[in-house]
């Protein structure tokens, strides 16, 4: 494997084993329902374990996607060096501390150095890192490092605004429920004007998260 590919796989942090073990999830959900004091055999719950297993397979598919399939020849060599910004990318992830959703928006920018990526791929990269058990800080950094490795640009910036249901639903620390995280690499880190251009761009009129 070439050095470049090795780095991309390292950042992608795929899980080594194949498909998610849906049977074990089903068994575990039956156990949880029983532990709740519920009757897993009552009609409303009968198919819940199978549904939950399918749901997790979908929500956690991010660490089983091959990043090269995802990029799928969408990299282009061009003579273009102005800032590319993709804002308001919706994402849905699961917090690894509670297995509850955190949802929100990601804003991604980069300054190309001879290479760009098809615009539709950036939301897919965000998705790849969102569809896992995550913490928002790590997801933000992974998206930035992945794009940095794939494009080798002058710089990458990622800002993520997330609403954490584990905080809102549980009625604790409500003020902590919304969180903003950011990773700035290259010129976005070293050059104030570049960083401010990006931050001004993403602060213009977004709809509220929820």
Q: Which residues are designated catalytic?
A: 95-98, 136, 164, 166
User: Which region, judged by CB under 5 A, interacts with Zn ion, from 5-13, 38-46, 112-120, 165-173?
Assistant: 165-173
- Give the C-alpha separation, 196 to 173, whole Å: 31
Q: According to CB under 5 A, which one of 4, 42, 51, 97 is a site residue for Zn ion?
A: 97
- Give the C-alpha separation, 177 to 199, whole Å: 22
110 within 8 A of 147, measured Cβ to Cβ: yes
Smallest gap from residue 95 Cβ to Zn ion (A): 3
Contacts of 170 (CB under 8 A, 6+ apart): none
Smallest gap from residue 129 Cβ to Zn ion (A): 17
* 178: β partners: 163
DSSP the chain: --HHHHHHHHHHT--SSSS--HHHHHHHHHHHHHHHT--TTSGGGTTHHHHHHHHHHHHTGGGGS-HHHHHTT-EEE-S--S-EEEEEEEEEEEETTTS-EEEEEEEEEEE-SSEEE-TTHHHHHHHHHHSSEE-HHHHHHHHHHHHHHHH--SEEEEEEEEEEHHHHTTTSSGGGSEEEEEEEEEHHHH-HHHHHHHHHHHHS------
User: Which region, judged by CB under 5 A, interacts with Zn ion, from 41-49, 66-74, 98-106, 150-158?
Assistant: 98-106
Smallest gap from residue 140 Cβ to Zn ion (A): 16
Binding mask 29-68 for Zn ion (x = CB under 5 A): ----------------------------------------
User: Which region, judged by CB under 5 A, interacts with Zn ion, from 67-75, 92-100, 134-142, 190-198?
Assistant: 92-100
Smallest gap from residue 142 Cβ to Zn ion (A): 18
- If the CB atoms of residues 75 and 179 are measured against Zn ion, the closer one turns out to be 179
Count the site residues for Zn ion by CB under 5 A.
4
Q: According to CB under 5 A, which one of 103, 166, 179, 199 is a site residue for Zn ion?
A: 166
Smallest gap from residue 184 Cβ to Zn ion (A): 25
The reply on whether position 95 binds Zn ion by CB under 5 A is: yes
Using CB under 5 A as the binding rule, the residues of this chain from 119 to 158 that contact Zn ion are: none
Give me the residues that bind Zn ion (CB under 5 A), please: 95, 97-98, 166
């Amino acid at each position: 494997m070439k050095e470049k590919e090795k780095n991309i796989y390292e950042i992608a942090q795929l899980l080594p084993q194949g498909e998610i073990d849906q049977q074990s999830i089903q068994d575990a959900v039956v156990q949880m329902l029983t532990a709740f004091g519920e009757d897993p055999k009552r009609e409303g719950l009968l198919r819940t374990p199978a549904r939950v297993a399918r749901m997790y397979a979908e929500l956690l598919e991010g660490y089983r996607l091959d990043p090269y399939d995802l990029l799928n020849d969408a990299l282009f060599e061009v003579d273009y060096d102005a800032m590319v910004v993709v804002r308001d990318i919706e994402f849905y992830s699961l917090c690894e501390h509670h297995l509850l959703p955190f949802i929100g928006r990601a804003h991604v920018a980069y300054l190309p150095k001879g290479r760009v990526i098809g615009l539709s791929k950036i939301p897919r990269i965000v998705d790849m890192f969102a569809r896992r058990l995550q913490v928002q800080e790590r997801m933000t950094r992974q998206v930035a490092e992945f794009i940095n490795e794939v494009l080798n640009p002058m710089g990458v910036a990622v800002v993520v605004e997330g609403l954490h249901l584990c905080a809102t639903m549980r009625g604790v620390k409500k003020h902590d429920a919304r969180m903003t995280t950011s990773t700035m690499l290259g010129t976005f880190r070293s050059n104030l004007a570049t960083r401010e251009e990006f931050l001004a761009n993403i602060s213009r009129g977004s709809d509220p998260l929820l």
